[in-house]
Each structure stands twice: as C-alpha cells, then as structure tokens.
C-alpha cells in the first residue's frame, strides 16, 4: 500500500479533474515558493528579532529534507497528474507545473515537512488571533498539504506521513535549541549551518550547498550587520523594496536552476541570505518612512 502507484492513482482518480487545481493551491502552502517569500517579508516588515530565527529554522528544515531524500533516494510514483500543465492556459500552467512535474527523490515529502515547520512556527511564535485558533490552523494546513501531494500524483502516502513526522520532530528540536540561547537568531542560523554541513556531507547535492551557504551568509550578516529591530513601514517605498527584494530572490532561484557546482551554489546561497538579513541595516526604516511622513515641498 505504502509504495504502490495504484494507491496514488486511486487517490487521484477519486476526485474530479478540476480539483487538481485546488490541490495545487493547497500544495503551495508548503512550497518554498510560498514559504521563503512569506518568512522574508515578515522579517522585513513585522519584527526582525522575532522572525530572524524563522529564517534559520526554515533553512535548516530544508537542509534536513535534502539530506534524508539523498539517503533513501526513493523514486516518485510515476503517476501523471489529473490535468497536464500543457492543457492549461499559459499563466495557469506556469503556476501548476512546478507542483506536478517533480523529479527529485520522493521520501520524505518536503512540502509536508516545510508546512509543519512554517505553520507550526506561526502557531507558536506569532500573535495573530487566538493561540487556540492558530494551533487549529497549524494542525489542519500541513495535513491538507500532505494529502494534496498524494492527490496530484507525486508522492506515496508514506512520503507525506514521514514528512509530517520529521517536520514535527525537527521543529521540537529546533525550538529546544533556539530557546536556550539569548540570541535566538544566531542559534537558529548556527543550527541551520550544522544541519547543512551534515546534509552536504551525506548527499553532495547542490541544494545542500546552497542551504549551507545561506545559513553561513545569514549568520555572518546577522553578527556583522545586525539590522535595527524596527521594521520597514508599509509605505510605497517599503512596498517597492519588497517587490525588488522578492524579485531578486526569484532571480536567485533562476540562477540555481542553471548552476550545479557546489562552490557556485554555496556562494549564491551565501550572498542571497546575507543580503536578505543585512539589507535593513543599509536601508533603515527612516528612509522608507519618508514617503509617508515628509510634507510636500512648497510651490
């Protein structure tokens, strides 16, 4: 049952074809294309002391995933999606294809692991709404993400079950480590670097090199160019910086698709993470706030 493509096909075929698009949306809630921008934007615009550790914990979680996937090297089920990306309009196809055309090892599910990590941190570390409601969301979304990965045909059930379990275990360990040290960001980046070293040693994968470089770059930037705690205000200037920053991350992602050398990947990860962490130190809040506080010049 656990490694039978027929099981995956049965789950996929139990739903109308149009629901493949819904499952794709759910998958994005555990995707790096969602997780990375959200955590970075929260670091820039909400509370840097609170969300800096999130950056490290997320990088460590992805490094752990890369290492485990390399060790087990389980192939994907080979079950096609209910809707082929080519059958969709161009924009929808671009949105949908990354979630159903996957060729990396399947075990464990990175989406399930990442969903547990990011939504677990949301429940335990944020102050949005009531804690009880956050815990319900943090329990429900990873399960939906996990199911969606089976429903789109790219994971066996055991992949997502273990992904959820690894995510919970990692988050517990990460919190135990980070909360023991006063400078939680340093602890989180150090943890991510440690996991990254192990992942690179056991896998020799470019993604592991990128994540290790990112952890080291973030740690160096945090220690040498610690940004002010005050977040960027939500002004037009701040929005412009956000668009430019997230766009730059998109360019980094494109570079990663054409670069497989370990050293090159390490450098790209280092520079990208160091930029994310140190940018607020060089573009302080008072600059972004001018667009909303400075009076118009007399005419």
Provide the CATH number for the domain around residue 76. 1.20.144
Q: Which pair of tokens denotes residue 248? A: 């730059």
Residue 278 maps to a domain: no
Residues for the chain: how many in total?
299
Residue 166 maps to a domain: yes
Please give the mean pLDDT across all residues of the chain: 85
- Per the model's pLDDT, the better-predicted residue between 168 and 228 turns out to be 168
Characterize 256-271 residue by residue with b for buried, 16 or more Cβ atoms within 10 angstroms of its Cβ, and e for exposed.
beeeeebebbbbbbbe
Residue 24 maps to a domain: yes
Give the C-alpha separation, 183 to 127, whole Å: 20
Residue 124 maps to a domain: yes
Give the C-alpha separation, 143 to 158, whole Å: 13
- 76 with 103: CB under 8 angstroms? yes
Give the C-alpha separation, 66 to 63, whole Å: 5
- Per the model's pLDDT, the better-predicted residue between 264 and 296 turns out to be 264
Task: Inform me whether the pLDDT recorded for 292 exceeds 90.
Answer: no
Residue 291 maps to a domain: no
Residue 183 maps to a domain: yes
153: left (phi over 0), alpha (psi -120 to 50) or beta: left
Residue 94: domain span: 5-205
Give the C-alpha separation, 188 to 277, whole Å: 13
Mean pLDDT in residue range 283-293: 52
User: For the chain, what is the domain count?
Assistant: 1
73: left (phi over 0), alpha (psi -120 to 50) or beta: left
- 145 with 112: CB under 8 angstroms? yes
Which span out of 44-53, 105-114, 235-244, 290-299 was modeled with the highest average pLDDT? Answer: 105-114
Residue 48 maps to a domain: yes
Residue 215 maps to a domain: no
Which span out of 79-83, 115-119, 150-154 was modeled with the highest average pLDDT? Answer: 115-119
What pLDDT was estimated at residue 201? 95
**For residue 36, what are the CA distances in angstroms to 29, 62, 90, 144, 288?**
11, 11, 24, 19, 22
What pLDDT was estimated at residue 257? 66
**For residue 88, what are the CA distances in angstroms to 29, 95, 97, 197?**
21, 10, 10, 41
- 200 with 190: CB under 8 angstroms? no
* Distance from chain centroid for Cα 128: 20
What pLDDT was estimated at residue 275? 86
Helix H segments across 101-183?
110-125, 131-151, 157-178
Which span out of 48-52, 144-148, 227-231 was modeled with the highest average pLDDT? Answer: 144-148
With cut-offs at 50, 70 and 90, classify the pLDDT of residue 294: very low
């Amino acid at each position: 049952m656990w490694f039978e493509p027929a099981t995956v096909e049965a789950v996929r075929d139990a739903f109308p074809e149009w629901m493949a698009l819904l499952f794709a949306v759910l998958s994005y809630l555990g995707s790096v294309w969602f997780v990375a921008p959200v955590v970075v934007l929260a670091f820039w615009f909400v509370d840097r002391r609170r969300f800096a550790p999130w950056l490290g914990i997320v990088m460590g979680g992805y490094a752990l995933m890369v290492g485990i996937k390399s060790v087990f090297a389980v192939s994907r089920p080979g079950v096609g999606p209910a809707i082929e990306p080519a059958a969709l309009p161009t924009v929808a196809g671009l949105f949908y294809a990354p979630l159903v055309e996957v060729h990396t090892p399947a075990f464990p599910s990175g989406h399930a692991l990442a969903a547990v990590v990011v939504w677990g941190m949301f429940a335990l570390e944020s102050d949005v709404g009531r804690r009880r409601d956050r815990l319900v969301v943090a329990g429900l979304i990873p399960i939906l993400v996990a199911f969606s990965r089976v429903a789109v045909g790219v994971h066996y059930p055991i992949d997502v079950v273990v992904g959820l379990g690894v995510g919970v275990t990692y988050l517990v360990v990460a919190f135990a480590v980070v909360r023991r040290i006063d400078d939680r960001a340093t602890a989180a980046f150090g943890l991510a670097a440690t996991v990254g070293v192990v992942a690179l040693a056991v896998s020799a994968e470019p993604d592991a090199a990128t994540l290790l470089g990112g952890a080291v770059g973030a740690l160096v930037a945090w220690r040498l160019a610690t940004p002010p705690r005050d977040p960027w205000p939500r002004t037009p200037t701040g929005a412009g910086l956000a668009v430019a920053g997230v766009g730059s991350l998109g360019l980094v992602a494109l570079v990663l698709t054409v670069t497989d050398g370990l050293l090159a990947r390490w450098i790209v990860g280092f520079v990208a993470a160091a930029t994310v962490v140190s940018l607020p130190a060089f573009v302080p809040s008072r600059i972004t706030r001018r667009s909303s506080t400075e009076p118009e010049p007399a005419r």
